[in-house]
């Protein structure tokens, strides 16, 4: 049965706030140095092409390929290196783990390019960002081997984040969502899920030649992904349910913890986003990469050439 919450979630429409008064200091927090609060970045310190990673130590693995680094900024788990690679201006930035951190990162990146920090009003001309998430993930289809790459056509969100925003979903996304809830028999006790597609331009360019499929985004590593240590998950057969889902040529290829928030926030704010992951585990063949740094480093090189 589809819950009432599911229908309510999909009846909401995205509405852009038209600010006529400056955004209050409590809502848009700018430091005395002119930087946005959490990321500690100023508008001149980011590029329009951004590679986001979960692991803060992976930022340096990207920036070591840069021909020149203009800015290095670090605050909490948010580490940013902005520089140049073969004439392309690129920012590498760590988000930390989870959709809650992605909510901070994407909103603040958007503010850096689309809000005037002097007037505290949105700019008249909108700036689009290209944001590529470069991550690691576990495969949910046995034929996808460890050390392979997967590009996410859609993010399937179990995180609940978009229930706090007015959102708009196209017909394809809504049809996929209805099919997902019905086939998977989604429990009413869990967050209402949602599905958002990738930027088609970035997916085609960055994901060329990779496995492609829908990526499930969990709001935890253990119970929400069907793992059991000392606590019993409420959906112990989560992986089996996701593995069997199929609709109009779409299936769920992998599990991770950031993509749905990235896709939904970027779509709502007018930015382009795609996730590509190195597969370091397969949940059905029960295999794990012997050295996941090898495929991760190869994926970094591929993304830098294609971004």
pLDDT score at 141: 96
Asked if residue 143 lies in contact with residue 85, where contact means CB atoms within 8 angstroms, the answer is no
Alpha-carbon gap, residue 290 to 144, rounded angstroms:
16
Alpha-carbon gap, residue 153 to 277, rounded angstroms:
12
State pTM to two decimals: 0.92
84: how many CB neighbours lie within 10 A of its CB?
A: 14
pLDDT score at 167: 83
pLDDT score at 166: 87
50: how many CB neighbours lie within 10 A of its CB?
A: 23
Start-to-end C-alpha separation, the chain: 42
Q: What domains are there in the chain, each with its CATH number?
A: 4-306 (3.40.50.1580)
Where does the chain have alpha helices with state H?
4-11, 58-63, 99-114, 171-184, 200-206, 238-244, 259-269, 293-306
- CB neighbour list of residue 58: distance below 8 Å, 6 or more residues apart: 94, 134, 296, 300
**Apex 40 CA angle, 23 and 264, nearest 5:** 65
pLDDT score at 19: 74
Give the pair of three-digit tokens for residue 184: 């998977």
Give the pair of three-digit tokens for residue 246: 């199929």
Q: How many CA atoms lie within 13 A of 119 on its CB side?
A: 10
Asked if residue 216 lies in contact with residue 239, where contact means CB atoms within 8 angstroms, the answer is no
pLDDT score at 87: 97
pLDDT score at 16: 62
Give the pair of three-digit tokens for residue 85: 């690679």
pLDDT score at 17: 66
CA 300 to chain centre: 17
pLDDT score at 96: 96
Alpha-carbon gap, residue 48 to 189, rounded angstroms:
40
> pLDDT tens, position by position, for the chain (307 residues)?
334 344 434 343 345 667 789 999 999 999 999 999 999 999 999 999 999 999 999 999 999 999 999 999 999 999 999 999 999 999 999 999 999 999 999 999 999 999 999 999 999 999 999 999 999 999 999 999 999 999 999 999 999 999 999 888 999 999 999 999 999 999 888 999 999 999 999 999 999 999 999 999 999 999 999 888 999 999 889 999 999 999 999 999 999 999 999 999 999 999 999 999 999 999 899 999 999 999 999 999 999 999 9
Alpha-carbon gap, residue 266 to 269, rounded angstroms:
5
Best CA proximity match to 112, nearest among 208, 46, 184, 18: 46
Asked if residue 139 lies in contact with residue 195, where contact means CB atoms within 8 angstroms, the answer is no
Q: How many CA atoms lie within 13 A of 193 on its CB side?
A: 29
Alpha-carbon gap, residue 143 to 276, rounded angstroms:
18
């Amino acid at each position: 049965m589809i819950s009432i919450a599911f229908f309510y979630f999909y009846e909401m429409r995205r509405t852009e706030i038209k600010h006529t008064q400056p955004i209050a200091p409590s809502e848009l927090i700018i430091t005395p140095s002119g930087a946005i609060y959490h990321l500690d970045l100023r508008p001149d310190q980011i590029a329009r092409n951004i590679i986001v990673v979960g692991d803060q130590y992976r930022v340096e693995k990207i920036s070591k390929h840069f021909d020149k680094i203009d800015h290095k900024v670090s605050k909490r788990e948010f580490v940013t290196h902005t520089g140049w690679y073969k004439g392309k201006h690129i920012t590498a930035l760590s988000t930390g783990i989870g959709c809650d951190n992605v909510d901070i990162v994407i909103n603040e990146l958007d503010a850096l390019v689309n809000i005037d920090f002097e007037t505290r009003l949105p700019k008249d001309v909108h700036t689009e960002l290209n944001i590529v998430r470069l991550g690691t993930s576990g495969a949910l289809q046995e034929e996808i081997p460890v050390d392979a790459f997967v590009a996410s056509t859609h993010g399937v969100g179990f995180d609940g984040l978009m229930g706090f925003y007015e959102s708009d979903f196209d017909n394809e996304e809504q049809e996929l969502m209805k099919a997902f809830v019905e086939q998977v028999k989604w429990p009413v006790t869990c967050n209402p899920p949602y599905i958002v597609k990738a930027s088609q331009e970035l997916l085609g360019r960055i994901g060329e030649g990779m496995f492609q499929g829908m990526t499930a985004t969990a709001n935890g590593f253990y119970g929400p992904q069907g793992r059991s240590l000392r606590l019993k998950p409420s959906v112990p057969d989560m992986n089996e349910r996701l593995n069997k889902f199929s609709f109009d040529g779409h299936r769920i290829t992998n599990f991770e913890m950031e993509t749905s928030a990235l896709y939904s926030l970027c779509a709502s704010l007018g930015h382009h986003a795609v996730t590509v992951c190195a597969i370091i585990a397969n949940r059905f063949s029960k295999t794990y990469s012997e050295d996941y740094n090898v495929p991760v480093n190869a994926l970094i090189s591929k993304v830098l050439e294609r971004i």
